[in-house]
Amino acid sequence: MTDSAKIAVKQNDPGNGSDLYKKREKIYQRHPTGYFQKLRVLTIWLTLGVYFLGPWLAWDGRQAILFDLPQRKFYIFWFTFWPQDFLYLSWLLIIAAFSLFFITVLAGRVWCGYTCPQTVWTTFFMWIEYITEGDRNQRIKLDAQPMSFTKFRKKFSKHSLWLALAFWTGFTFVGYFMPVRELWFDLFYLNISGWAAFWIFFFTMATYTNAGWMREQVCMYMCPYARFQSVMFDRDTLIVTYDENRGEPRGSRKKTADPQALGLGDCINCQLCVQVCPTGIDIRNGLQYECIGCAACVDACDAVMEQMNYPTGLIRYSTENAVEGKQSRILRPRLIGYGVMLSLMIVVFLSFVFARVPLELDIIRDRNALYRENWQGNIENTYTLKVMNKSQEPQEYSLEVSGLEDVIVHLPEKIDTLPGELLTVAVTLEMDPDNLEQRNQTVYFTVQSLSHPEQQVTEDSRFLSPRR
C-alpha cells in the first residue's frame, strides 16, 4: 500500500478518533480568492455555459443536441445515432473512465476541484450564499441570531435564487431529451406534459438538495471516486500538499519577527487554509480523502505568505517525493500506460465515428417457405430488406444483388427514404434449377446512396434450393 493510501485509511480509521459516519457539521467557507480560484471561475463558467446553452444551439433547422427517446434518435450536431449504435456510447464511457484514471494518476483529484458537476453547481450555490448573506463571519452571526425581518429577507433571497438556478438546471436537462423551444412554450402556457413536469421537478429538487444542502457530503459519502482515488495515487502524483518541514512548528508572530529566532516555522497558524476549504479539512494534517484538489488553501496561504514577506508555496501543488526533497518523475510506467491506451482508444473511436456509414441494412428471409417453385419451374427465394436511412437528409438508394450467376432479380429500381426512415423492401430472386450447383449458396445485397456513392452497405444471405 502506498503512503497516500495509508494516510487515507488512517483518516477513516474509527480508532483514530474520527467517526466514519457522523452528523454533519455545517461548514462556513470563507470566500476564496487568488490565481487558482480565478482559474476555477473560468472552468465553472465554461462548464455552465456549455450545459445551459447546449440545447438551444440550432443545426440544420433543428436542435443541435437532442436525445429523442420516443423516436429513438440521438442528434449530436451532424451525427444521428440510433439504438443500434449503442456500442459507440459504451466505447465513449470506457474512454471517459480511462481519462479519469489518467488525470488522477497525473494530478490527483483535479477533476473534482475544477469540473465535476457537483463541485461546479455547489460553488455557484455558495457564491449565491456569499452575495445574499455575506462572507463567513457574517453568515455565522446571521445563523446565531433569532429570526428577524433582515434574517428572513436574506434567507428568502438565497433560497429563491437557489431554487431558480435549480429549476433552470432541471429544465435544461429535460431540454436535452425534448425539443427545448417547444418545452419552453408549453411551460409558459402551462401546457406541459405530466412526465416533463415530473422530471423538471425531480432534477430541480435533486440540484437544490445536492448543491444547496448536502454539498461536501456528496463528495465524502456518496461519490465512489473519493473512496478509490487513493489507490491510484503514488508518490509522484501531483496533489495539494503542505510542506511540513518548512511550516513546523507553527505559531503566531508579528510581521517583523524573525521566525528562526522564535523557533517557529513559516506557518503562522492563521487557520485561513481551513476556513476557505469547501470540505472543511485541515490540509496540514496530510492528504485526506475529503480533499478535492480545488487549491483554495493554496491561494489563501500564498496571500498570507506575501503579507508576511515569506516565500509562497508553503501549501502548493506538489508530489510527496518533491516535498521530501527526493527526485520526482512526471513520466512513469503507469501514467505512460494509461496515456498510450487512452490515445489509442480515442484515435480508434474517432476513426470509427467519422468513417461510420449512416445506412443500415438487415436481411430477413421468408420464414414461411425456404424456397418455392414458380409456374415456370424456376426456384424462388423471397427476402425482406430493412433499409434504414440514418442520415439527416432524404436519400435515394440503389439495390444490387451479386454472388449468383444468371439470377433473375425482382426489386425496385430505387429506394426513396426520408431522414431517419426505416423502409421495408421485398426482393425476390429466381434461378433456373439447371444453373444451381449447390443447395445452399451465398448471395450479396448492396445498398448504395445515389447522391453519396461512398455510402454503401453490403450484407449477405443464403439462396436455398431443393436437393437435385
Q: For position 432, what pLDDT does the model report? A: 85
Where do the DSSP E strands lie in 212-335?
Answer: 239-242, 315-318
Strand partners, 398: 448
**Confidence band, pLDDT 50/70/90 cuts, at residue 468:** low
Of residues 358 and 124, more confidently modeled? 124
Is 122:278 a contact under the CB 8 Å cutoff? yes
Mean pLDDT for the stretch of residues 309-316? 94
Q: Which residue has the cell 475529503?
A: 290
pTM comes to 0.79
- pLDDT tens figures, 187-198: 988 888 889 999
**Confidence band, pLDDT 50/70/90 cuts, at residue 20:** low
Compute the radius of gyration of the chain from its Cα atoms.
32
What is the DSSP code string of 240-266? Answer: EEE-HHHHPSP----TTS-HHHHT--S
Q: For position 122, what pLDDT does the model report? A: 95
Q: For position 42, what pLDDT does the model report? A: 95
Q: For position 366, what pLDDT does the model report? A: 82
- pLDDT tens figures, 92-141: 889 988 898 899 889 888 889 999 999 999 999 999 999 999 999 999 99
CA 425 to the chain's CA centroid:
40
What is the DSSP code string of 408-438? Answer: EEE--S-EEE-TT-EEEEEEEEEE-GGG---
Does the structure show a pLDDT above 90 at 437?
A: no
Where do the DSSP E strands lie in 44-191?
Answer: 58-59, 62-63, 65-68, 73-76, 79-81
CA 370 to the chain's CA centroid:
49
Does the structure show a pLDDT above 80 at 11?
A: no
State the cell numbers at 296. 483554495
Average pLDDT for the chain:
87
Q: For position 309, what pLDDT does the model report? A: 92
Residue 394 backbone phi and psi in degrees, to 5: -60, 150
- pLDDT tens figures, 215-268: 988 888 888 877 777 678 888 889 999 999 999 999 999 988 888 889 999 999
Complete domains list, the chain, with CATH: 359-464 (2.60.40.10)
Mean pLDDT for the stretch of residues 384-404? 87
Does the structure show a pLDDT above 50 at 406?
A: yes
Percent of the chain with pLDDT over 90: 44
- pLDDT tens figures, 38-63: 999 999 999 999 999 999 998 877 89
Q: For position 108, what pLDDT does the model report? A: 86
Cα separation, 363 vs 38, whole angstroms = 58
Q: For position 423, what pLDDT does the model report? A: 87
